[in-house]
Amino acid sequence: MSRRCAELLWGLATIGAIAITRLIPVESNELWRFITAFAFLYYGYLLGNTILPKIKSIKSIWLGLLLFVSLQSLVQTGLYYFGFRLGQDSDAISLISAIFLSGLLAFFFKPRISAKARPVAHNSRPQQTFFRVFRHKLFSTTLFLAAVLAFAFIIKNAAQASTLESIRTPWPLLPKATITAIAILWMTLLLSSLWARSAFLGAIHGFLATSATTFIAPLIYRLGFGFDGFLHIASEKILLGSGFLEPKPFYYIGEYVFTTWLARFADLPIAQIDRWLLPVAAAILPTLCLLTILKDKKAGLSILALLPLAAFVSTTPQGLAYILGLTALILCLGTAKANVHFVAPLIVSAWAIAVHPLAGIPLLFVVLATLSVIYLPKKTAIAVSAFSVITAGIAVPLLFYFLSLKSGTSIAWNFNQLFHAEPWLSRLLEFVPFIGNHFTVWPAWASLTNRLIPLILFFAALLAYKSSNDKKERGACLVFIFSALIFYIAAVALKATGDFTFLIDYERSNYGDRLNILALLCLVPPAGLGLNEFWKKARKVPLIIFIAAIAFYSFIAAAASYNALPRHDAIAVSRGWSTSRYDLEAVQLIDRDAGNRAYTVLANQSVSAAAVSLLGFKRYTALAVGETPVFFYPIPTGGVLYELYLQITYNEPSMDILKDAAELGRSDLVYVVLNDYWWRAQTVAEQIREIADQDWDISDGKVWVYKFDLRTDSNDAPAAAGL
C-alpha cells in the first residue's frame, strides 16, 4: 500500500505542477516541457510495470509510453468533438486526464511483480568455453556491423537522391546495390534472431531492416509522397493555428490531435512530424511488440519482412490506424500467456478507431474475439468470438452503405454481383503464383512475391495453430485465421457490389484492397509464431537446404521492400507522378496573376496537391444548399473538376468544358495546367493554346499554364508569355 500511496502522491504533485504552469502569467514553456516529459516517463514506467508484470521495468516502458500517449490522444479527441479549442489548455487537461487514468489502471489492476518475485530465466545450457563465447560474440558483432553498414548505405544514397522533380518511382534514383543492401538487412535480422539470442540486438536489427524501407520515401520525395498527405498536413496546420477544424470530420482526429500536440510540445514543423510519424512508428512498434510477446521465440521477428510495408512508407491516418491495430493484435497474443494485461490492446484499439474508424473498428472486433477465447468459458467464447469476427468482416461494407445513404456519397451498389461466380474466382486466382510470360527476372520475382506473401502468412499461421500446446494461444491463432478469411470475403463483396464513382477510375478498388490489408494484419501475429517454429525445424535439416531457405527468405524480403514503393518496370506501371517544384511555381503564378479575383483551376493530382500545400483550403463553392462544396482545384483523389480536366486533356479542348468549370467554381476566370509528362502533352498544349487568352511556359515546358477570362471573348488573338 505504501508504494501505491507514493504513486498517488507523485500523481497529485504532477497535476499540481501542471496547474501552476497554466496559472503563471509568464512564459513557462521550458518548465511545461520538463513537467510533461517527466509525466510521460514516470507514467510510462508505471503503466509498463502494470501491463507487463513479468518483464523487467526498463523493457516495459515502451508499452507504458504508448498507452499513455493513447490515453492522452483519446482525451484530446473527446475535447475536440465536445467543442473545446485545442491548444495549451487542452494539452494540460488531456495530460491531467491521462495521469488520472494511468493512476487508476495502476491502482486497480494486477499489481506489479517485485524484483524478488519476478521469474528468473535459468540457463539450462551447459557452460560454454571461452572459444565458443568468443565465436558467438564475433558472429553477433559481424552481423550487427553488416546491418549498420547496409543501413547507412541505403539512407545515405536515399538522402542524396532527394529530389524536387516529378518522379514515378524512386528506384532509378538509387544505386542498383540498394536491393542487395536491403536483402542483407533482412538476412542479418534472421541470422541474429536465430543465433544472437539478444533482445536488444533483435530490436536494433528489426528497426534497421524495417526503417531501411519505410525511410526511403520521406528522404527522396522532398515535397511529399502521394497526394492524401498534402490534405492531411493542410488540415493539421489549420487545427494547429486555430484550434478548430470545421466542419468536424468523422475521421482522422485521433492522428491530428497527436501531431498538433507534438508540434506544440517539441516546437517542430507540423509537416516534418507528419512526414516521419508513420515510417518511424512502423519501424518501432511491431518490432518491440514481437520481442515482448515472442520472448525466447525470436526467430518470429522474420515476420517483419512480410508486413504490408507499402501502407507504412507515407503517413496517413489509415496507415497509422493499421499500425496501432497491428500492435493491439500482437498484444492479444501476450494476454494468452498472461504476459500482457488485456486492457493494453483495448486502449490501443480505441486510439486506432479515433485515428480512422474504417480500420480501427474492424480490428477492435478482432481484438474482442481474441480476448473472448482467452478469458471466457468455452461455449460463451465460441459464441462471442464468432459474432465478433463476423461483425468485423461486415463492418466496413455496412459503414460504407449507410454513409452513402446518409451523406449522398456517390457509390453505386449492385448486390446481384454477390451471386456471380466471376468476382470470387478472380479473387482465388490472385493467390495462384503465376505471372504470365514475363522474362524480366527481378520485376517478375517481385510480382510473384506479392502473390506468395498471403499464402506464406496463411500457412505459417496454420503451423502456429498446429504446433502450439497452449489452448488459449491456439484459440487466438484460430480467431486470427478466421478473421483474415472473413476480411478477404468482405473485400471481394465490397469490390463486386460497390462502385465508388467519386474516385478516379484506377483508385475505385482501393477500399476493397484496404480490407485485404486488414486480412494480412490479422495473419501477422500467428504467422510470427509459425515462422519461429519453421526456423526451429529448418535448423535440423542438411546445411545446404538451410542455406537455401535463408536465401529464399532474403529474396522474398527484398522483393517485398521493392514492392513497398511505387514501381515502374516491365511488369508494374505506376500511374502517379509526384509533386514537383514546377507544380508549386504554377500554383504561385496562377494565384499571383488572379489577384483578388475568384478563379477555378483544371489540373492533375500533382498540381492540386501543390495547391493544397501552398494555399490550404482557400476557397470552396456550393451550387446549392445541401450540395457537396467544390474545391477550386480538383481534389487529389478525383471529383467533378477532375472529370472536366480529363475531358479537356483526353478529348478536344472546348470552351463548353471551361464554362462548366467556371460554373462549378463560381468564377469567370479559369486556368488549365498541363504537365509535360502527360502522354498527349504536346498535342493538347497546341490545341489549348489556340483558344486561351494567355499562356505561360514554366522551366522550358515542364509545365504549361493557360488562362481563360470568360468576361472577354476567348476567340480574340491570345497573348502568350514565357517564363
566 pLDDT more than 60: yes
pLDDT (average), residues 447-456: 92
505 pLDDT more than 80: no
Greater pLDDT, 34 or 627: 34
Q: Dihedral sign, CA of 369, 374, 380, 383?
A: positive
Instruction: Using pLDDT thresholds of 50, 70 and 90, give the confidence band for residue 115.
Output: very low
Torsion of CA 308, 313, 318, 321, to 10 degrees: 70
Greater pLDDT, 22 or 107: 107
Distances (CA, A) of 201 to 44, 45, 137, 325, 416: 23, 22, 12, 25, 54
* Per-residue pLDDT, 140: 87
Tens-place pLDDT, residues 22-81: 666 556 678 788 888 888 988 888 888 888 877 766 678 889 999 999 999 999 999 999
pLDDT over 70 for what percent of the chain? 82
* Per-residue pLDDT, 112: 44
pLDDT (average), residues 234-261: 92
722 pLDDT more than 80: no
624 pLDDT more than 60: no
Per DSSP, the three-state class of 638 is strand
What's the rounded Cα separation, in Å, for the pair 467 and 479? 16
* Per-residue pLDDT, 2: 57
Greater pLDDT, 440 or 301: 301
259, 236 Cβ separation under 8 angstroms: yes
* Per-residue pLDDT, 569: 86
Distances (CA, A) of 31 to 258, 494, 547: 21, 52, 56
Tens-place pLDDT, residues 380-407: 999 999 999 999 998 887 877 676 666 5
* Per-residue pLDDT, 274: 96
* Per-residue pLDDT, 23: 61
Torsion of CA 630, 631, 633, 636, to 10 degrees: -100
The burial class, CB within 10 Å (0-12 / 13-18 / 19+), for 718 is middle
Instruction: Using pLDDT thresholds of 50, 70 and 90, give the confidence band for residue 576.
Output: confident
102, 43 Cβ separation under 8 angstroms: yes
What's the rounded Cα separation, in Å, for the pair 308 and 450? 10
Tens-place pLDDT, residues 602-615: 999 899 999 999 99
* Per-residue pLDDT, 38: 87
SS (HEC) of 487-529: HHHHHHHHHHHEEECCCCHHHCCHHHHHHHHHHHHHHHHHHHH
Per DSSP, the three-state class of 635 is strand
Q: Which residues contact 117 (CB under 8 A, 6 or more apart)?
A: none
**How is residue 583 written as a grid cell?**
507544380
Greater pLDDT, 20 or 292: 292
585 pLDDT more than 90: yes
699 pLDDT more than 70: yes
212 pLDDT more than 80: yes
pLDDT (average), residues 101-124: 61
* Per-residue pLDDT, 721: 41
Residue 481: closest CA among 373, 624, 558, 341: 373
652 pLDDT more than 70: yes
Distances (CA, A) of 90 to 140, 261, 471: 47, 9, 45
Q: Say how many CA atoms lie within 13 Å of 537 toward its Cβ.
A: 9
* Per-residue pLDDT, 414: 60
SS (HEC) of 153-193: HHHHHHHHCCECCCCCCCHHHCCCHHHHHHHHHHHHHHHHH
468, 530 Cβ separation under 8 angstroms: no
| Parallel/antiparallel/unpaired status of strands 498-500 and 411-413 | antiparallel
Instruction: Using pLDDT thresholds of 50, 70 and 90, give the confidence band for residue 116.
Output: very low
Tens-place pLDDT, residues 225-240: 888 899 999 999 999 9
Residue 351: closest CA among 65, 71, 43, 99: 71
581 pLDDT more than 50: yes
475 pLDDT more than 60: yes
249 pLDDT more than 90: no
pLDDT over 90 for what percent of the chain? 55
What's the rounded Cα separation, in Å, for the pair 691 and 703? 18
710 phi/psi in degrees, rounded to 5: -75, 0
Q: Which residues contact 461 (CB under 8 A, 6 or more apart)?
A: 477, 480, 481, 484, 523, 526, 527, 530
209 pLDDT more than 90: yes
Give the lowest-confidence range in 212-221, 496-505, 688-697: 496-505
**In the chain, what is the straight-line distance between the N-terminal and C-terminal CA atoms, in Å?**
76
**How is residue 544 written as a grid cell?**
545446404
Q: What is the DSSP annotation of 384-438?
A: HHHHHHHHHHHHHHHHHHHHHHHH---EEE-GGGGG-HHHHHHHHHTTS----S-
C-alpha gyration radius of the chain: 27
**How is residue 199 written as a grid cell?**
533482445
Instruction: Using pLDDT thresholds of 50, 70 and 90, give the confidence band for residue 117.
Output: very low
Greater pLDDT, 599 or 127: 599
Residue type, 113: I
187 pLDDT more than 50: yes
- The mean pLDDT of the chain is 85
| pTM greater than the 0.85 cutoff | yes
**How is residue 33 written as a grid cell?**
516541457
| Parallel/antiparallel/unpaired status of strands 600-602 and 669-675 | parallel
| Parallel/antiparallel/unpaired status of strands 694-698 and 719-720 | parallel
Place of cell 496517413: 316
111 pLDDT more than 70: no
* Per-residue pLDDT, 439: 63
Residue 41: closest CA among 66, 69, 65, 59: 65
379 phi/psi in degrees, rounded to 5: -65, -45
